[in-house]
Structure 1
Amino acid sequence: MKNLIIALLSLLSYTTMAQEIDAESWKKEAQTNIRLAPKYGNAIKSEAEKVADAELIKSYTEREGTPKKASELLVQLGFSYLNKGDLKTAMYRFNQAWLLDPKNENVQWGFGGVYFRLGDFESAIEQYDEGLKINPKSSDILTDKATIYVSKYDKSESAADLKMATSLFKQSYKFDPTNQNTLFKMSVLYYITDDCVNAKRYFLECKKLGGKQITPGYEEALYKKCK
């Protein structure tokens, strides 16, 4: 499926970016640096660490007004670092967001994103599933989970991976038909499977909303294939 590289650029960007550390080394380091593990690895913290956590919670709550708002701010910061490729700082921010609001599903979305970047799909799925237990209607989590199965399908060409990706994208679209990330990736999925009608449908829906997620070259590739 090498001829699909252009169409898959955005889907595979998490795992094709150069990494300073692989998943195995990351988990090994997390055994001594609990900040690299989701929820701090559920470790029993020292009194000094508990005091530091309490001060952080107080500081961010006073700054943002509520723990929930503060948690969302830290999630956004986490994704900012994640998109820059700074996985460690991203995980630190996601863990701080969890401290402020353990019921914020977007924290699990962030944890999953770190593992996704590391190429550890199974751990990413575990985190996404935890987030979906909190909010089964999270379009963002459903779409990123679907993206994993598209990535797996690109290598395996497994009907099961394709079926799962399709199902998750449809759920995501149902809950938020304006999610441009979902729309673009659904278009790519149908492009891969030679369904030109749906590939163009979701592409046009995404473009109508601004097309921010559309990667360079995809429109040309789409209309060259789907005339």
Structure 2
Amino acid sequence: MKNILIPCALLFAFLVTTPAQAQRKSKSKSKTESVATTITAASRVQPLFGGLSAAQAEQALGATYLGNIQKSFASRTEASDFFATKGFEYLNEGQIDTATYRLNLAWVLNPKNPLPYRGLGVIASQQPTPDASIDLLNQALALAPNDNQALSDLGSLYLIRYEQTKKKKDLSTSTDFLNKALAADSTNATAWQQLARVYYIQEDYAKAWNAVHQGQKYSVASIDFNFISELIAKQPDPQGTFK
């Protein structure tokens, strides 16, 4: 299955973030913290600076650099919101590297902000497997459990994983996330279309058509006409809309 619906996540409505996470200083540095961490030209455009912890990334960026950024805002939380918003704007424009760096900054400024994880999860979905994207979106969901868009994207990603692994657990996890997304917002067209795919895999074509039409009702743009052709081959559209 092609990952065709993930880009809908670029239209996410932005959530109100939680207060910035307090940084605790330990009396003794751990082995990883004692080693100087640097951000390379390559890692600056990778999610979470290539897998650094927030503390490592803050150390690598430097207090002076982050302090200069924060001067323009009332708080680190506000600065994080700003860079997350800019990150999504660049993501919408297809400027992936710039979007990644802005979202990375938003994450360092406030590790409790779900938006950077969500945006970086969208970016990571370009990788051959959805594992990294799933991990990032799970972190976003941990901070915003009722975010129907994150739930929907996780449902989509587990469906992609199922296509790769053929493990029933991945399919059931996908179904759970998609149903939760629709419980949170029944107008989520992406979730409806992805649920249609689940029903198609389960050979429940009547339910697949119903899900397609539910999604169509809220957004025609959500329809994948290649999938519609596959579904028609199994069972004609009961409503006669698609032929």
Shorter-normalised TM range: 0.7 to 0.9
Correspondence for 1:54 among 64, 67, 76:
67
Q: CA deviation at 1:166?
A: 0.9
Q: Is the 8 A contact 2:149 2:181 kept in 1?
A: yes
Identity among equivalent pairs (%): 20
1:179-219 CA distance string (max 9 Å, x none): 12211111122122211122112211111112222123333
List aligned pairs for 1:212-227, cutoff 5 A.
Answer: 212-227=221-236
Please state if 1:89 is matched with 2:102.
no
Q: Is the 8 A contact 1:79 1:90 kept in 2?
A: yes
Q: CA deviation at 1:136?
A: 0.9
* Pairwise CA RMSD: 3.1
Q: Is the 8 A contact 1:146 1:165 kept in 2?
A: yes
List aligned pairs for 1:76-225, cutoff 5 A.
Answer: 76-81=88-93, 84=94, 86-99=95-108, 101-225=110-234
Letter in 2 for 1:218: F
Q: Is the 8 A contact 2:5 2:190 kept in 1?
A: no
Correspondence for 1:38 among 48, 65, 79:
48
Gap change, CA 1:88 and 1:44, over 3 Å in 2: closer
Q: Size of the alignment, in residue pairs?
A: 200
CA distance in 1, matches of 2:39, 2:84: 27
Letter in 2 for 1:50: A
Between 1:39-48 and 1:197-206, the stretch displaced more is 39-48
Q: CA deviation at 1:131?
A: 0.9
Q: CA deviation at 1:47?
A: 9.2
CA distance in 2, matches of 1:12, 1:223: 24
Q: Report the TM-score, using the length of structure 1 for normalisation.
A: 0.73
State which structure, 1 or 2, has the greater radius of gyration over its C-alpha atoms: 2
Correspondence for 2:4 among 7, 10, 13:
10
Write 1 or 2 for the structure with the bigger share of helix: 1
Q: CA deviation at 1:71?
A: 4.3
Segments of structure 1 that go 5 or more residues without pairing to the other structure are 14-29
Q: Is the 8 A contact 1:186 1:199 kept in 2?
A: yes
Q: Is the 8 A contact 1:77 1:93 kept in 2?
A: no
Q: CA deviation at 1:120?
A: 4.5
Q: Is the 8 A contact 2:87 2:98 kept in 1?
A: no
Between 1:140-149 and 1:116-125, the stretch displaced more is 116-125
Q: Report the TM-score, using the length of structure 2 for normalisation.
A: 0.68
Gap change, CA 1:133 and 1:45, over 3 Å in 2: closer
1:22 is aligned to none
CA distance in 2, matches of 1:44, 1:69: 18
Task: Give 3-state SS (helix, strand or coil) of 2:222's partner.
Answer: coil
CA distance in 2, matches of 1:48, 1:104: 19
CA distance in 1, matches of 2:3, 2:60: 46
